[in-house]
Amino acid sequence: MAVAPKKDKFIEEAQKLALRGQYDKAAKLYEQAMALEPSNINLRQKLAELLIKANRPDDARKEFETVGKHFANNGFYLKAIAVYKQLQKLFPSDISLSVSLAELNEKHGLTANAIAEYKLVYDYYQKAGNTVELIRTLDRMQTVDSGNVSIKIKLAEALFENGKKDEAYALFSKTAALLQENGDNATLSRLNERIQELFPEKTEFVLETLAEQVRSGNAAKAVAGLQGLLRSNTGDKRVWDLVIEAYRRLDQPQRVRIAYQHYLKYFPDDPTPMIGLITCCVEESNLSAALELLERFEPRLYSAGRLDDLDKTYRALDKLDPINVRVLEGLIRVSQAAGKTGELEVFSSRLKSLCGVSSLAQPDSADSGETGGSGIEPLEFSDEGDETLKTIQETTAETYATLADDEPATAEDEEIEIEIDIDSDFEGSAVDSGEDTSGSTWIDSVDGLFDTIASAPRGVRFGNEMDSSDAQSHYDLGLAFKEMGLFDEAINEFRQASSDASRRLECLIMQGACLRERGQHDAAITMLKALLKPGLSREDSSAVKYELALTCEAAGMSDQATQLLNEIDASTPGFRDVSSRLNAANLENSLDFSDEDLKDFDLK
């Protein structure tokens, strides 16, 4: 006898035995069929289901695990999840199954489902007192859902309790940045208090948090917090530096310049805002403003050893206006101060040539006070060029020395235009919660946050509407669960998939179908009838009526089922198998004779 017919005979006989409730005998026949075709996954899955009914759970587990590994290894994660979920129901105390489910959900991108499974694993290790595995599980959870604040806080607390203080502090900082980004000032305020409690030496946690936020590319979110810090303490240079870095990352040059103006107002002798403000003018190609600021700040920048900054600035200005006497004189001063003889000679020669040309072209320029737009009188060169160059160098050195000895200007003398008022622009607080958090401890709050991760998953996208790919994954997983007879799990997946408005009706219909399969006919009928509202398309209306007809039929309401099928056939001809169902119903009715009808037949 050929293998296929023999296998089919075993299966046919097994199905008959299963219908009579003789599951053990049916399973044995399936095992014989499996021996003939061991690679048949569908056959193995059916065998596993029969072994469950035959009260052979360990044997069923062996078969299910073979099926699940096959699906997982071949990338059929949804099918693998459905198989392992069946195993989890059979062996609820085996935590390895939850780990496998978490990993499979993670691989398929079902974040919420993965987190829900990992939460079961966490609860298990917490009860067992296994801190190593507990921390490892929390770390995997935060990797899967990087935007989940409660997980990060829980992990940071666990790290601290286990002596990993540096790791704990780093994670607290990342969490604070996330809270700042989400605008959750209440939790941020309490987190700041907790940091001061655990790390009393870390007195500037909020500033470090905002700095991390700027560095990580979230400058826009950090600005409000930085403005709040400036309102409470304008005397912290690090905050000003960070504000300017944030605005630079946001490509807002005007705000960079304004911030430097404020910075200079509070620190009139600091070279950093001086150079910064000059650089802003250079970047704006505002030559006259840059030269004016250089004339004011150059001696202090020289005293502060900022020759490189001065050299860079003058060179940038030289590119903007290569025939500007004031720029060349500045380059000469910087070159001489830096001892760069070669460059000094080059710039001096250029200045000599420029002044000579200007003198010939504009013999009366000394009276006008203008040369090349520089606003200073030109130097006149005689035929004794070397002597003139020597005089320029000496004069430059003397001028620079004189400038360096001058008293610095006061803040009041510096009439920098402030376009905004600091109180009106830098508003908001980094940690002002505006909320009373008394009456509960930090640990209580942490536990409360973390416990919101129930074993029933939330939406996939943290704080956002689910996208179409997520919805499709949840819908497909719902179908897989439904096929496995895991109706509770299927309903949960369809509920999540219904977050996508485009498939909401379809998901609600499938939930009704699951209720029917679970034997809750009344609930299914009520739900499906509620979906029959005006405005549905003919296709959608027929889909709802079809499932309602099947539910009525399952509930023994044959007349109502037939009526619904007729309505579908009239409005949407050819819809699914409606015609064949109606024909079968009509045939059954035609053979259903009453006692009165049978009187006319001569039955012996």
Closest CA to 334 of 351, 315, 352: 315
pLDDT value of position 429: 37
Sequence-distant (≥ 6) Cβ neighbours of residue 316 within 8 angstroms: 282
Distance, CA of 42 to CA of 11 (rounded, Å): 12
H or E, element range at 94:
none
pTM: 0.58
pLDDT tens for 128-163 read 999 999 999 999 999 999 889 999 999 999 999 999
Please provide the DSSP assignment of 239-290 as one string.
HHHHHHHHHHHTT-HHHHHHHHHHHHHH-TT-HHHHHHHHHHHHHTT-HHHH
Question: Could you tell me the two tokens for 220?
Answer: 């826009």
Q: Are 76 and 477 in contact (CB under 8 A)?
A: no
Looking at per-residue confidence, does 421 or 144 come out higher? 144
Is 64 exposed, middle or buried, given 0-12, 13-18 or 19+ CB atoms closer than 10 A? Answer: buried
Q: How many CB atoms within 10 Å of residue 588?
A: 10
Question: In 10 A of CB 557, how many CB atoms?
Answer: 17
- Are 78 and 473 spatial neighbours (Cβ–Cβ below 8 Å)? yes
| CA-based end-to-end distance of the chain | 46
Q: Which of 275-279, 291-295, 393-397, 419-423 has the lowest mean pLDDT?
A: 419-423
Tokens found for residue 358:
């200007």
Whole-angstrom CA distances from 28 to 18, 19, 66, 525 are: 11, 15, 18, 39
Task: Give the span between the Cα atoms of 144 and 309, in whole angstroms.
Answer: 46
- Residue 49 and residue 489: Cα distance in Å, rounded? 17
C-alpha 565/C-alpha 20 separation (Å) is 32
pLDDT band at 458 (very low <50, low <70, confident <90, very high): very low
Give the pLDDT score at 208: 82
Q: How many CB atoms lie within 10 A of CB 545?
A: 27
Q: Are 288 and 295 in contact (CB under 8 A)?
A: no
Q: How confident is the model at residue 177 (pLDDT cuts 50, 70, 90)?
A: confident
What one-letter code names the amino acid at 425?
Answer: D
Q: What is the pLDDT of residue 200?
A: 82
pLDDT mean over 11-32 = 93
| Residue 209 confidence (pLDDT) | 80
Give the total residue count for the chain: 604
CA–CA gap between residue 188 and residue 171 (Å, rounded): 14
| Residue 583: its H or E element | helix 578-590
Closest C-alpha among 235, 228, 237 to residue 206? 228
To the nearest 10 degrees (0 to 180), the angle between helices 325-338 and 341-361 is: 160
SS (H, E, C) 490-501: HHHHHHHHCCCH
The CATH number given to 468-591 is 1.25.40.10
Q: What is the pLDDT of residue 3?
A: 60
- b/e per residue, 258-293, with b = 16+ CB within 10 A? bbbbbbbebbbebbbbbbbbbbbbbeeebbeebbeb
Q: Are 212 and 177 in contact (CB under 8 A)?
A: yes
pLDDT value at residue 230 = 82
DSSP of 69-82: HHHHHTT-HHHHHH
Question: Three-state SS string across 482-538, please?
Answer: HHCCCHHHHHHHHHHHCCCHHHHHHHHHHHHHHHHHCCCHHHHHHHHHHHCCCCCCH
When the pLDDT of each residue in the chain is averaged and rounded to a whole number, the result is: 81
C-alpha 123/C-alpha 119 separation (Å) is 6
Residue 448 has pLDDT above 90, yes or no: no
- Torsion over CA: 496, 501, 506, 511 (sign): positive
106: helix, coil or strand? helix
Residue 69 dihedral angles phi and psi, to the nearest 5°: -65, -35
The angle at the Cα of 5, spanning 4 to 10, to the nearest 5 degrees, equals: 100
pLDDT above 80 (res 257):
yes
Q: Report the interhelical angle of 307-320 vs 271-283 (nearest 10°).
A: 10
Residue in the structure block whose two tokens are 């119903």: 585
Q: Report pLDDT for 236.
A: 87
The two domains 3-144 and 468-591 share their CATH topology (first three levels equal): yes
CA 96 to CA 370: how far, in whole Å?
86
pLDDT digits (tens, 9 = 90+) for 83-141: 999 999 999 999 999 999 999 999 999 998 999 999 999 999 999 999 999 999 999 99
What was the pLDDT predicted at 36?
92
Give pLDDT, residue 587.
Answer: 62
Tell me the CATH architecture of domain 3-144: Alpha Horseshoe (1.25)
- Euclidean distance between CA atoms 64 and 81, whole angstroms: 11
Backbone angles phi, psi at 202, to 5 degrees: -90, 85
Give whole-number Cα distances, 217 to 77, 143, 269, in Å: 34, 19, 31
User: Taking a C-beta distance cutoff of 8 angstroms, is the pair 88, 105 a contact?
Assistant: no
Asked if residue 588 has pLDDT above 50, the reply is yes
- In 3D, which of 124, 123, 52, 43 has the Cα closest to residue 86? 52
CA distance 195 to 172: 8
Asked if pLDDT for residue 28 goes beyond 90, the answer is: yes
| Minimum mean pLDDT range among 38-47, 339-348, 422-431, 499-508 | 422-431
How many angstroms separate the CA atoms of 291 and 310, rounded? Answer: 11
Using one digit for the tens of pLDDT, what is the confidence trace for 395-404?
444 444 444 4
Least confident stretch, 3-17, 92-106, 307-321? 3-17
The answer to whether residue 69 scores a pLDDT higher than 70 is: yes
* Cβ neighbours of residue 243 closer than 8 Å, sequence gap 6 or more: 223, 226, 227, 230, 259, 426
So where are the chain's domains? 3-144, 149-154+163-268+409-452, 309-408, 468-591
What are 325-378's pLDDT values in tens digits? 999 999 999 999 999 999 999 999 999 888 876 554 444 433 433 333 333 333
